[in-house]
Each structure stands twice: as C-alpha cells, then as structure tokens.
Amino acid sequence: MSQINSTLHPIVISQVMVNFAAKYGIDKKTCLLDTDITEQQLADAEALINRSQEIKLVENLISALPTEPSLGFKLGLLYSVSTFGVWGFALRTCRTLRDAISVALRYLPLSTAYCHIQEIEENGHFGVMFDADQIETPLRQFFLERDMATSVNILKELGLSGVSCTKVEFRGPPSSYAKYFEDVLGIKPTFNSDRNALFISSAEADKKLSTYDSQLVHLMHDQCRQQLKLRQQSGITGKVRQQILGPLGFTASCEDVSSILAMSSRSLRRKLDHEGTSFKLLLDTERQLSAVQLLNNTDMKLDEIAFHLGYYDTASFARAFRRWQNCTPAEYRKSAN
C-alpha cells in the first residue's frame, strides 16, 4: 500500500463524486451507503475522510453505474486545480509545468491519486507514469483512469488550455471505449505498452506559467507541509520523509532514520517496501525537489546547494542532477532565468 493511502482527504473530493452520480440519477443515500459519511459532513467544506470511506463511496458508484463506460476517466475530468485547495494553489505558483509536476509529486498525498506516479523524460517528451499494480484489481482500472484524467485536466488548466498530450500509453489492450479516450485527449493512445503514461513536449514543460508567483512559492510549500502533517494518519513513509526534511536532513542514512524510529534498518526497509517505496527513492526524490526549488528561487552557489543536499562535492551533485533533469545545475539555472 502506498503512503498516500494513509492520508485523510478533504470532503470536497467526495462532493465531486456525489455530484457526478447525481447527473446519472444516483442519489446521495446510495453513494454514502456504509461509508460512515453523513450528509452533514458532506456539506462541511472543512471535513476530512479516510481512504476506506472514499473507496466504499467509489464501490457504491461503480455498483450504481455498472455499465457506464470509462467511469473513472469521466470523473477525473471533473477535478480541477481549485478542487485540491492548498495543493492546487501550490501548483499555480510554480514557474513551469515541469516544476508543477515535481511539486505535485512531492505533496501527492494531498491529491486524489491512488497510483504510484513518477516523472519521465525521453526524446523531447516530458511526462508522468502511473503504476496501479498496488491497487486492488476490482478498482484498479477506475483509479488508473481517474488519476490519468485528473492529470490531463490539471496540465491543461495550468497551461491555460494551450498544452496538449504528445503521447498517451496504456499497458492493457484497447477497451470497448478506446475511441472515447482519443476523442477527449485529441490523440490516439498506444495500447499494450509496458507502462501507463502521459507526455507533453519538453518545450511545453519548460515554458514559464502565467500564474507563476515567486513570492508565494515558499509560502505554498509551507502550507502543503502543514496540511500533510494534519492529514497524515500513519505510514512509515511519512515518518521517514519528516526526518529527511526535518532534524536529520539530507545526510541521513537508513540506519540514522531507523534508529530515530526505534526499529532495525531491515525492518524499516521492509515496511517501506510494503508501502511501495524505498529509503533511497525517498531521499533521491526529496533531494531532486529541493534542488529545483533552490536553483529557481535562491542565489545559493552550487557548492552550497550540494552541501545542503548532503553531497560531498559539487561534482556528485551535478551528476545526480543530470540524471534527474538531463542537464547540469548551472544549465538549469541559466535556462530558468
């Protein structure tokens, strides 16, 4: 199970689903059956629910509309940047779509995502891959479609509708409603691929967003971190991330963190693996995201950034950064200015 499954969700996510069901004649009572979500909670914008409640609502929705094609994709297209509160606002303040995706992944538990999502770049295309293998089979296709459609909507919204997918790939065979994907996306998807992925051009990913606000970037990050603390119920991934971003810093080793958490390093690795991640991946991801933010928003020298991120020298940092962004830190900073 991914760490995102241990985080509370704002009730607005459920409100969108209930409103979606209403368009098909499905009432609130049917949607909320056995979810322990009351209509009073549903009307409270500040209310939070857990993943088990949301999954039950989804199961009710699927049961009520068993023959509706591409149910998850149609629902995902209803989620906008504003749906997600502070997470959405944080994306708006980013300099580019590339930065917005990095921030989105950093604070992914604040979104609706159930898939494990990661960045990918190849041959002039930049995008994200969706791994749904950890999701239970009956709900896997629904959540995959919802996550992909939500991502498409957010990319278009941040890019003021001027951004189009250059490639779309699905692991499975074409469904009976494959033409619907083509009509909505404006491009014919590739099926039977070895991955589920959405791509835009690298050039589009690096264009400056009109909503970029350098003054609000750090404020939004702080608010996202606060929201994660408020919503995080449990999960070893969240605890490890807190140590990396907090008292131990980027020089932390797996042994350092396991000692703070009062467990063996072997147990920590096993627990992280169960949640679909690893210590190395978490540390690498946090270093990458912090590096991008520091290069974009500070005048820190490269050797200072390297030291801050826990690298022994600038060369080691540069090699890691090239692996992340396919360019050196200096080249990235120059292109960002």
Task: Give pLDDT tens digits for 85-125.
Answer: 889 999 999 999 999 999 999 888 888 899 999 999 999 99
Residue 247 has pLDDT above 80, yes or no: no
- Rg of the chain on CA atoms, in Å: 20
- Are 269 and 280 within 8 A, CB to CB? no
Q: Which band of pLDDT confidence, cut at 50, 70 and 90, is reported for residue 336?
A: low
Question: Does residue 186 sit in the same domain as residue 309?
Answer: no
User: Is residue 28 a part of any domain in this protein?
Assistant: yes
Q: What is the DSSP track for 248-289?
A: S-TT--HHHHHHHTTS-HHHHHHHHHHTT--HHHHHHHHHHH
pLDDT recorded at residue 255:
94
Question: Does residue 254 sit in the same domain as residue 181?
Answer: no
Question: Does residue 32 sit in the same domain as residue 161?
Answer: yes
Question: Does residue 281 sit in the same domain as residue 171?
Answer: no
Question: Does residue 191 sit in the same domain as residue 251?
Answer: no
User: Is residue 226 a part of any domain in this protein?
Assistant: no
User: Mind listing the pLDDT tens digit for each residue in 163-189?
Assistant: 889 999 999 899 889 999 999 998 999
pLDDT recorded at residue 100:
93
User: Is residue 224 a part of any domain in this protein?
Assistant: no
The Cα–Cα gap between 62 and 54 comes to: 12
- Are 283 and 244 within 8 A, CB to CB? yes
Quote the number of domains for the chain.
Answer: 2
User: Is residue 212 a part of any domain in this protein?
Assistant: no
Question: Does residue 185 sit in the same domain as residue 254?
Answer: no
Residue 3 has pLDDT above 60, yes or no: no
The Cα–Cα gap between 19 and 76 comes to: 13
Tell me the whole-structure pTM to 2 decimals: 0.69
Question: Does residue 150 sit in the same domain as residue 11?
Answer: yes
pLDDT recorded at residue 163:
82
Residue 211 has pLDDT above 80, yes or no: yes
Domain containing 75 — which CATH number?
A: 3.90.1520
Question: Does residue 165 sit in the same domain as residue 286?
Answer: no
User: Is residue 278 a part of any domain in this protein?
Assistant: yes
Residue 234 has pLDDT above 60, yes or no: no
Domain containing 265 — which CATH number?
A: 1.10.10.60
- Are 54 and 31 within 8 A, CB to CB? no
Question: Does residue 69 sit in the same domain as residue 154?
Answer: yes
Domain-ending residue, one of 187, 205, 223: 205
Q: Which band of pLDDT confidence, cut at 50, 70 and 90, is reported for residue 4?
A: very low
Question: Does residue 198 sit in the same domain as residue 247?
Answer: no
Question: Does residue 296 sit in the same domain as residue 184?
Answer: no
Q: Which stretch of 257-266, 274-283, 307-316 has the lowest confidence by average pLDDT?
A: 274-283
* Token pair of 277 as six digits: 């991640």
pLDDT recorded at residue 237:
80
Domain-ending residue, one of 161, 183, 205: 205
Residue 71 has pLDDT above 90, yes or no: yes
Q: How far, in Å, are 109, 139, 243, 249, 250 from residue 246 at the CA level?
A: 18, 36, 5, 6, 9
- Are 235 and 275 within 8 A, CB to CB? yes
Q: Which domain holds residue 322?
A: 241-336
Which residue(s) pair with 181 in the sheet? none
Q: Which stretch of 129-138, 177-186, 243-252, 267-276 has the lowest confidence by average pLDDT?
A: 243-252
Question: Does residue 40 sit in the same domain as residue 143?
Answer: yes
